[in-house]
Amino acid sequence: MPHTFVYTHQDFVTDVHRSCESYPKVAPPCTKFDTTIRAGWKDRMDRRLFRYHLGDLETRILPGPHGYVAQLNIQRGIERRKPQEILSIQQEFNASQFNFNKINPDEIIFEMVRCTKDTTSSDEGQVCQSGRRIVLINVSPLEFGHCLFVPDPSRCLPQILTRSAIQFGIESVLLSADPGFRIGFNSLGAFASVNHLHLHGYYLNHELKIESRLVKPLVPKKGFYRMQDFPAGFLFYTESEDVKKVAGTVCQVTDFLVDNNIAHNMFLTRGCPPCGSIQSDKDRCLRNGVRIIIWPRMACFGAKEESAFNVALCELAGHLPFKNKKDYESATEIDVIAIVQKHLLPDDAFDKLEQQVSCHLTAL
């Protein structure tokens, strides 16, 4: 039986920051969550449960304002499982195809259980949620600690976000004290390779510009913003006390995208509160909350993959796992932008979608 990881609201870490002039560079502390993932992941690597051994990846920061983090990961491009044939963003779950009910049970690191105080009980006991939420290794990892977060796999949900799955992802980021721990999601048509609801989680020991990028308010009452810089996307922000509410609003946006057959990627990372103007170093380095970024994009169904890297959740966030050494060594920021741009909505289509989503949220 896999280890059970029980947590409450009190386990959320609310005092995280990025190294900068205001905060000297120190190694982030490890929470119970971090220790469990790290130890479990290393154990599975030692037991050779992965498709390849992942050592320290060759890494370079591309010159330019976007600060792209390029990494050479040839084995992932070669060894990862062949993606399933995806024909629709709303494609139904197919039990005959690979899914997470078919994995080797040894790949599961732990099950996560969220408990809350029972306010109806005189002895102040706890009420724990129903349904399994498992964390298992990604056998074709893109970075250290790369795991899959699968909400209630026995329900056989397709790769379409739910409010509880979004909340699961946000809470997982809040359980880590490491600002380099990220969670992400690829919809069908946006390089999801398995049509069974799951999110990706991994550690990346490099700052990403989206952690502090300036934003434009769209629907302030709903905490809905637009990223000010490339690539264009929508942004939400939450700290520990508003997770459930924000997860519900995020799901209203992703439901709208699914209903309108718009592929999308989502990325969750520690970040500073959204701001539309230049911040002080101290404010810019705050990481007490979570930024949730959603990128609507062109759908890819059976399309030829890029030779350098695919454009999915981590690439849109600024983390580029390259498949071959030539492209890794020669790529420039201009090259990366050209590749990413091909997968984004045209500017006029994004502007129209922004208006539609803003009206949708305002009307709810």
- CA–chain centroid gap for 36, Å, is 19
Q: Report how far residue 23's alpha carbon sits from residue 184's, in angstroms, rounded to the nearest whole number.
A: 27
CB 210 within 8 A of CB 267: yes
Lowest mean pLDDT among 19-33, 78-92, 168-182: 19-33
Q: Is the pLDDT of residue 21 over 70?
A: no
The CB density around residue 180, as the number of other CB atoms within 10 Å, is: 20
pLDDT at 122: 52
* Local structure of residue 81 (DSSP, 8 states): P
pLDDT at 127: 81
Q: Is the pLDDT of residue 148 over 80?
A: yes
Question: Strand 126-128 and strand 108-117: pairing?
Answer: antiparallel
Which is nearest to 228 in space by CA: 279, 154, 190, 189? 279
CB 138 within 8 A of CB 31: no
CA torsion angle 340 343 347 349 (round to 10): -160
Question: Strand 126-128 and strand 147-151: pairing?
Answer: unpaired
Domains and CATH numbers, the chain: 3-89+97-363 (3.30.428.70)
Task: Grade residue 64 by pLDDT with cuts at 50, 70 and 90.
Answer: very high
Q: Report how far residue 144's alpha carbon sits from residue 347's, in angstroms, rounded to the nearest whole number.
A: 35
Structure token pair of residue 319: 């983390």
Q: Which residue has the tokens 């080797």?
A: 104
Q: Is the pLDDT of residue 219 over 80?
A: yes
Mean local confidence (pLDDT), 38-56: 95
Q: Is the pLDDT of residue 125 over 80?
A: no
Mean local confidence (pLDDT), 37-65: 96
Q: Is the pLDDT of residue 167 over 90?
A: yes
Mean local confidence (pLDDT), 204-215: 95
Q: Is the pLDDT of residue 126 over 80?
A: no
Q: Determine whether 66 is an active site residue.
A: no
Q: Report how far residue 125's alpha carbon sits from residue 102's, in angstroms, rounded to the nearest whole number.
A: 36
The CB density around residue 323, as the number of other CB atoms within 10 Å, is: 20
Q: Report how far residue 62's alpha carbon sits from residue 108's, in angstroms, rounded to the nearest whole number.
A: 35
Provide, rounded to the nearest whole percent, the portion of the chain with pLDDT above 90.
Answer: 80
The H helix count followed by the E strand count for the chain is 9, 15
Q: Is the pLDDT of residue 117 over 90?
A: no
Residue scoring higher pLDDT (124 or 55): 55
Tell me the average pLDDT of the chain.
Answer: 92
Annotated catalytic residue, options 66, 198, 264, 319: 198
Mean local confidence (pLDDT), 60-82: 91
E strand map for 45-163: 59-61, 69-72, 108-117, 126-128, 133-137, 147-151
CB 99 within 8 A of CB 196: yes
CB 297 within 8 A of CB 317: no
